[in-house]
Amino acid sequence: MTERPVVGIFGAGKVGTALARLLEASGYDVLITGSPRQKALDLLVAVVAPGARVATPDELVAEADVIIVAVPFGKAATVPWELFDDRIVVDAMNYWPPVDGHLPMIDADERSTSEINAARNPRARVVKSLNHLGYHEMEDDSMDAGSPLRRALAVVGDDEDARNVIARIIDDIGFDAVDGGPLANGRALEPGNPAFGRELSASELVALLAPVAHLAA
């Protein structure tokens, strides 16, 4: 994939629209699909993420090279994972009990929540990223390459090519991408873990991911 990939986003909420704005500003072609409950999505997107194209789930999957899932974790099953064979899919979700409620099966599951989501379609090339910074920081903390205070974001996943594609996007939208290795390492990026929500440089983020990589090995 040498040209800029077309990016499709599931979820036209706080994260989905912030990412759509950042991607549009960085020259990406963006498709976005919202909840079936959302009325007047064209109007919403025209106002909060101008330039992004509203699409049905089928249209999005047909056109997007990279799919970002940014819906509430508790609604992940409503996303059509069965259509994601061989597709690069970014899981930007977090299990967040204040929103999702306490889910006993998730509480008891030692896997990263992205491993749980990846199991919804083992043929999808799932990458975890973008989940560990707040939507309100996505634009404020975006900086040009080489800026001394540039914040780092991790990219973890079992498919190295997919990680590289997402790392390029992360860099384009204003963050230093840190390759965090396999998807299991994503636990360090989740709520309650050291890298979640913290403003970290690339070297600081690498240092936090290293112990988890050891555990996952």
* Smaller CB separation from ligand NAP, 85 or 161: 85
Q: By Cβ distance, which residue is nearest to ligand NAP?
A: 13
Residues 127-156 binding ligand NAP (CB under 6 A) are 131, 134-135
- Least Å from the CB of residue 78 to ligand NAP: 4
**Piece of 41-49, 70-78, 143-151, 201-209 that binds ligand NAP (CB under 6 A):** 70-78
Print the SS3 string covering 129-151.
CCCCCCHHHHCCCCCCCCCCCCC
- Least Å from the CB of residue 83 to ligand NAP: 12
Query: How far apart (Å, rounded) are the C-alpha atoms in residues 109 and 144?
Result: 39
Q: What would the two tokens of residue 83 be?
A: 């259509």
- Residue 168 region by backbone torsions, left for phi larger than 0, else alpha for psi between -120 and 50, else beta: alpha
Size of the site for ligand NAP (CB under 6 A): 26
In single-letter form, the type of residue at position 110 comes to: E
Residues 1-20 binding ligand NAP (CB under 6 A) are 10-16
In single-letter form, the type of residue at position 22 comes to: L
User: Angle CA(92)–CA(148)–CA(154) in degrees, nearest 5?
Assistant: 20
Q: According to CB under 6 A, which one of 20, 60, 67, 92 is a site residue for ligand NAP?
A: 92
Q: According to CB under 6 A, which one of 19, 55, 68, 71 is a site residue for ligand NAP?
A: 71
Cα 23 to Cα 89, 135, 193, distances in angstroms: 16, 14, 27
What binding mask, one character per residue, do residues 36-55 give for ligand NAP by CB under 6 A, x or -?
A: -xx-----------------
Closest among 178, 176, 135 to 155, alpha carbons compared: 178
* Smaller CB separation from ligand NAP, 75 or 168: 75
Q: According to CB under 6 A, which one of 54, 55, 79, 124 is a site residue for ligand NAP?
A: 79
In single-letter form, the type of residue at position 73 comes to: F
According to DSSP, the residues that pair with 152 across neighbouring strands are 176
- Least Å from the CB of residue 70 to ligand NAP: 5
The CA-based dihedral angle spanning residues 14, 18, 21, 24, taken in that order and rounded to the nearest 10 degrees: -110
Residue ranges in contact with ligand NAP by CB under 6 A: 10-16, 33-35, 37-38, 70-73, 75, 78-79, 92-94, 96, 131, 134-135
